[in-house]
Structure 1
Amino acid sequence: MTDDQAEQPANATDAQGRKTGLWRESDPHGGEATGTYRRDRREGLWRHYFRDGTLRSESNYHDGELDGACVWYRAGGGLLQKGSFDRGQKSGLWERWSPEGNLIDRGDRVGGKKTGQWQYFNADGTVERTTNHRPMES
């Protein structure tokens, strides 16, 4: 949580009872999530923290849906995965890392589905295998 967020009053509602402004709430993993609501929907950057206060993820929202870049971290530090969303669907380049920090796999998604060439890596960084996935049909 940034110093600016710590100074702002949190968990307000508007005259219609909708969540608005900065919110701090429990997340389903036992930690805390902080971010902004607009008209009862998540908006902009949201940060989720582990119970010990270290950063678990950073995700972008628009009108209540995941939209834009997202990054997840491991409890012990280091990247877990990163990718992006388009209106709640996984979209664009996605990558995952092992606990040791080695790239596990990398590829594109459209509408939440794997598309095009995906690469899977050995612990030493060499390509273990490559798979091809059909593009989404319109």
Structure 2
Amino acid sequence: MKRLFISILCAGLAVSASAQDVNKTDAKKRKQGPWVEQVESIRGEPGYSWEGVYKNDRKEGVWKKYTINGDLMAEETFLQGALQGLCKYYYPNGKISATGQMIAIDLEGQKDTVVTIDPVSGEESLMEVVRKGNSVRQGEWRLYDEDGNMVRETYERGELSSSAQVNRPRNTAPLPHEAGAAGKKKKGKD
């Protein structure tokens, strides 16, 4: 029955998607308007689909992320391609796992000029660097275990307050945007 419902839902989405202007680009080849993206599974990570709106090739507004089976995984708010605003994350059973605000500390496309030094000649030159969007948690976050028990954490520009670290539930999984960074070390820290 569930497969039949998912098949009907997918067929309905396909029909409604073809009726709308979905996955369109403008004359400059920038993504514009409603968009549906499929991300295939890779290196053991399951695939998923995204749906939301692009404005000038950047995610804008609320984007929803679904499993391959069509179950809602996340609702994230974007501003100029970076997470900015309310985000909600869900367990596979549909219960909410976390909710809170993200704040963009770097917007995609911002440019910096840095001085580079040639290691051979010692000559200095200016180089322009284009930033990628970067966001951190801000304010109160509510984390739920699968039984519905809630813990509150407070963040200030991505830094967890010391009192909140003690109360975090042990079985709380990393949020989807943290999963890729879990194995990475931050530069300059041991």
TM score, norm. by length of structure 1? 0.77
Query: Could you say which residue in structure 2 is the equivalent of 1:115?
Result: 161
Q: From the two aligned structures, give the one with the greater strand fraction.
A: 1
Higher Cα Rg, which structure = 2
Residues 84-123 of structure 1 mapped to structure 2, 5 A cutoff: 84-87=101-104, 88-103=135-150, 105-115=151-161, 117-118=163-164, 120=167
Determine the C-alpha separation between the residues in 2 that align with 1:109 and 1:72. Answer: 17
- The aligned amino acid for 1:55 is L
Cα deviation, residue 115, structure 1: 2.4
Cα deviation, residue 9, structure 1: 2.3
Query: Could you say which residue in structure 2 is the equivalent of 1:20?
Result: 32
Q: 1:17 to 1:115 in 2, by over 3 A?
A: same
Residues 46-85 of structure 1 mapped to structure 2, 5 A cutoff: 46-85=63-102
* Identical amino acids, percent of aligned pairs: 30
Determine the C-alpha separation between the residues in 2 that align with 1:121 and 1:14. Answer: 46
Determine the C-alpha separation between the residues in 2 that align with 1:121 and 1:22. Answer: 37
- Where does the alignment leave 5 or more consecutive residues of structure 1 unmatched? 123-138
Q: From the two aligned structures, give the one with the greater helix fraction.
A: 2
- The aligned amino acid for 1:37 is Y
Determine the C-alpha separation between the residues in 1 that align with 2:49 and 2:153. Answer: 30
Cα deviation, residue 55, structure 1: 1.1
Q: Are positions 1:8 and 2:20 aligned together?
A: yes
Cα deviation, residue 121, structure 1: 7.0
Q: Are positions 1:40 and 2:29 aligned together?
A: no
Q: 1:121 to 1:40 in 2, by over 3 A?
A: closer
- The aligned amino acid for 2:38 is S
Determine the C-alpha separation between the residues in 2 that align with 1:75 and 1:62. Answer: 27
- Where does the alignment leave 5 or more consecutive residues of structure 2 unmatched? 1-8, 105-134, 170-190
The CA RMSD measured in Å over matched residues stands at: 2.2
Q: Does structure 2 conserve the Cα–Cα contact (< 8 Å) formed by 1:108 and 1:116?
A: no
TM score, norm. by length of structure 2? 0.57
Aligned length: 119
Q: Does structure 2 conserve the Cα–Cα contact (< 8 Å) formed by 1:81 and 1:97?
A: yes
Cα deviation, residue 110, structure 1: 1.4
Determine the C-alpha separation between the residues in 1 that align with 2:30 and 2:156. Answer: 33
